[in-house]
Amino acid sequence: MILKGKRGIISGALNDQSIAWKVAELCKAEGAEIVLTNAPISLRLGTVNELSKKLDCQLIPADATKVEDLDNLVNKSMEILGGKLDFVLHSIGMSVNIRKSKPYTDINYDWMQQSFDISAISFHKMMQSLWKADAMNEWGSILALSYIGAQRVFPHYHEMSEAKSLLESFARSFGYHFGVRNHVRVNTISQSPTPTTAGSGIKGFEEFLNYAEKMSPIGNAPAEDCAKYCVSLFSDYTRYVTLQNLYHDGGFSNMGMSGMMMEIGD
Ligand SMILES: NC(=O)c1ccc[n+]([C@@H]2O[C@H](COP(=O)([O-])OP(=O)(O)OC[C@H]3O[C@@H](n4cnc5c(N)ncnc54)[C@H](O)[C@@H]3O)[C@@H](O)[C@H]2O)c1
């Protein structure tokens, strides 16, 4: 019960494969009270309503690109949960150019801006809503999910590479202000490729999943384990971890080549 007495917002649970779905389940199991949120359209396309019933928690629709939706989300969450918040998860990502099969070398810039807005600027907007409402408790924790495409070239990750670089930078820059004012920490977790709706939108995802599995000494990190890492970062056991991009990838990020990849055994 390492989150007993804590209150938080979990965004991005679309269906039972979503990383945020597993985080929400574990937060409840560890004693937290939570509010779920997703874009109005995702509420219709996905099954997050089921999760809200199962966990007996409220679901507040919010398009993460709209400041008024986020302000409403923050204020309503404090009302429902009965006080300021201890943790917030940003688990939101979408590339319009990938969805519309536009090549990286022939990009549509309006779509690129939409992708950045959904996948990265929404994190700044979320933090600014929390900041302006003074919604975070002392020693709270704000977390977003990222991917190593922010640092290294993964051609099919497309414009999401730049979106994730921006996301990680917002974590550091806003994390400074939150740290100084409220001892609130802001981090990103850089997760292994994971079979979810967002993940499987990437071209060649299955092959890439296999490649990453063979390159990682411990193997790809499952969504359930990502949830455990998130919960540890919401707990009081990690109060001085801030402004970090934390790899949760079975060791992939520090590998050059592996025996398994070269098919020569260990
Ligand atoms: N799946 C992977 O391989 C992988 C790896 C590393 C990081 N991540 C990141 O993890 C996070 C969660 O993705 P996932 O893999 O669980 O997939 P997912 O498809 O289950 O979740 C993505 C979520 O973003 C939400 N979303 C999209 N546009 C939105 C908007 N305008 N407002 C509010 N919400 C919106 C969707 O409704 C969905 O719930 C994303 O940031 C993703 O980039 C995923």
Residue 12: pLDDT above 90?
A: yes
Q: What pLDDT does 264 receive?
A: 86
Judge if the beta carbon of residue 94 lies within 6 A of ligand 1.
yes
Q: What pLDDT does 189 receive?
A: 99
Closest CA to 52 of 21, 86, 76: 21
Convert the pLDDT of each residue in 72-118 to its tens digit. 999 999 999 999 999 999 999 999 999 999 999 999 999 999 999 99
Convert the pLDDT of each residue in 185-239 to its tens digit. 999 999 999 999 999 888 889 999 999 999 999 999 999 999 999 999 999 999 9
Q: What pLDDT does 202 receive?
A: 87
39, 16 contact by CB (below 8 A): no
Q: What pLDDT does 76 receive?
A: 98
Secondary structure, 3-state, 230-244? HHHHHCHHHCCCCCC
147, 200 contact by CB (below 8 A): no
Q: How far is CA 169 from the centre of its chain?
A: 14
Of ligand 1's listed atoms, the one at least distance from the Cα of 65 is 31
Residue 65: pLDDT above 90?
A: yes
What is the share, in percent, of the chain residues with pLDDT greater than 70?
100
Q: Which pTM was predicted?
A: 0.98
What is the DSSP secondary-structure string of 25-36?
HHHHHTT-EEEE
For the segment 131-137, the average pLDDT, to the nearest whole number, is: 98
Closest CA to 255 of 163, 148, 176, 120: 148
Q: What pLDDT does 246 receive?
A: 98
Average pLDDT, the chain: 97
Protein residue with least CA distance to atom 26, ligand 1: 92
Q: Residue 266 — very low, low, confident or very high, per pLDDT cuts 50/70/90?
A: confident
**Residue 144 DSSP one-character state:** E
Q: For the chain, how many residues are written? A: 266
Among residues 109, 157, 176, 229, which one is catalytic?
A: 157
Task: Tell how strand 185-191 and strand 59-61 pair up.
Answer: unpaired
Q: What pLDDT does 23 receive?
A: 98
Rounded to whole angstroms, how far apart are CA atoms 266 and 263? Answer: 9
The answer to whether 157 is a known catalytic residue is yes
Q: Which of 43, 63, 92 to mutate to test the pocket of ligand 1 (most atoms within 8 A of CB)?
A: 92
CATH of region 7-262: 3.40.50.720
Neighbours of 138 (CB within 10 A): 10
Among residues 104, 109, 147, 211, which one is catalytic?
A: 147
For the segment 31-41, the average pLDDT, to the nearest whole number, is: 98
Q: How far is CA 245 from CA 79, 137, 144, in A?
A: 31, 22, 9
Q: What pLDDT does 123 receive?
A: 99
* 178, amino acid identity: F
Closest CA to 77 of 124, 119, 32: 32
